[in-house]
Homo-oligomer: A and B are copies of this chain.
């Protein structure tokens, strides 16, 4: 096991109706002048924003608001948020939404306390401090409610860049599974795919004998395989929604990745898909991950057998383990298809002729990526090609 630090200081406030307590938690963590940050109109229409405002008002907390966060949140709104926080002397940012809203809130929180351009933080500069952040989560997917990460897209050139710092971890995150019951099945499935991808990026490692982290990874994956079809079949299944929402946090606060190397190449390859076609991140991952698995499985056949047997319930073929490895990958792709995810370029709306463009944009040159299997530009092209024609 490699040496590591694990730090997840957020207070998670989980369950039905807990968003009505957000005023109390803002107070607990020192907020008195709050920016409520949110996305589109659904938070308004559903009445959620009104309930949040009411809870703040009840606790005598002043608030201002900034909506309009888009999927793949933009730098332009971050600049607006920073100006507003300074003008209104905001001392806590409350993100009401999903990963995009939370990531945008994190950028504003860091930028407000920084003299320079906040984009510096997305160009390599480490974030030392940020305004405290609170979260009311509305979709189980990105895991940003429990992570110190943030990804922002620069409007000019559509440059998508990430940063990470413990200073960005929210003080409290309110997770009410009922808030996710109104999500359409497609978005629910995209979220579930993202959650599983967060685990797989950590499950495929070259560090040996980290039994506890392996088993924790599988705990999340088995949960997702069981619970996702239940919410697709019945969006109002509270128990299944609850399991998925909590699994989404566990998948990305770091606990399923400690003590070893990770991969993250599928995320890298997917970013080019969503940048080019503006598809949902989870949908892009559904196309890329099984293709990536087919490309790399020979690097560690037994690892893929472990996934097949422990996560997807395959019978181990002891005479020919490769067939088990491949069966596991096939089961994963079938699972994704069964929950309504695209599994190839055509279903995603991607074009094979764009592969050279995407490979070029990854900017590998003669180099390779890092990860479970280090990928050259040619390897990446081959993974995209596998994804073009993938069928069940």
A-to-B contact residues, CB < 8 Å: 1-16, 18, 177, 208-213, 215-216, 218-220, 222-223, 226-227, 238-240, 242-243, 246-247, 250, 255, 258-259
Contacts and interface: CB of A to CB of B under 8 A. Distances in A.
Contact of A5 (B5, B13, B212): B13
Contacts of A215: 218-220, 222-223
Given A3-B14, A15-B1, A239-B1, A246 B219 contact: no
A384 to B, nearest CB: 33
Nearest to A4: B14
Contact of A12 (B1, B5, B216, B246): B5
B5 A11 contact: yes
A4 B213 CA distance: 24
Nearest to A247: B212
Contacts of A240: 209
20 contacts: A1-B14, A1-B242, A5-B11, A5-B12, A6-B11, A6-B12, A8-B8, A9-B9, A9-B10, A14-B259, A208-B239, A209-B240, A209-B243, A211-B223, A212-B243, A212-B246, A215-B220, A216-B219, A218-B219, A246-B258
Given A5-B11, A14-B4, A14-B6, A212 B216 contact: no
Nearest to A218: B219
Contacts of A9: 8-11
Given A8-B9, A242-B259, 12 more contacts: A1-B177, A1-B242, A1-B246, A3-B14, A4-B14, A5-B12, A6-B11, A6-B14, A14-B258, A211-B226, A215-B223, A250-B255
Nearest to A227: B211
A239 B209 contact: yes
Given A215-B222, A223-B215, A243 B1 contact: yes
Contact of A14 (B5, B11, B12): B5
A265 to B, nearest CB: 25
A14 B1 CA distance: 10
Contacts of A16: 3
A255 B255 CA distance: 10
Contacts of A243: 1, 209-212
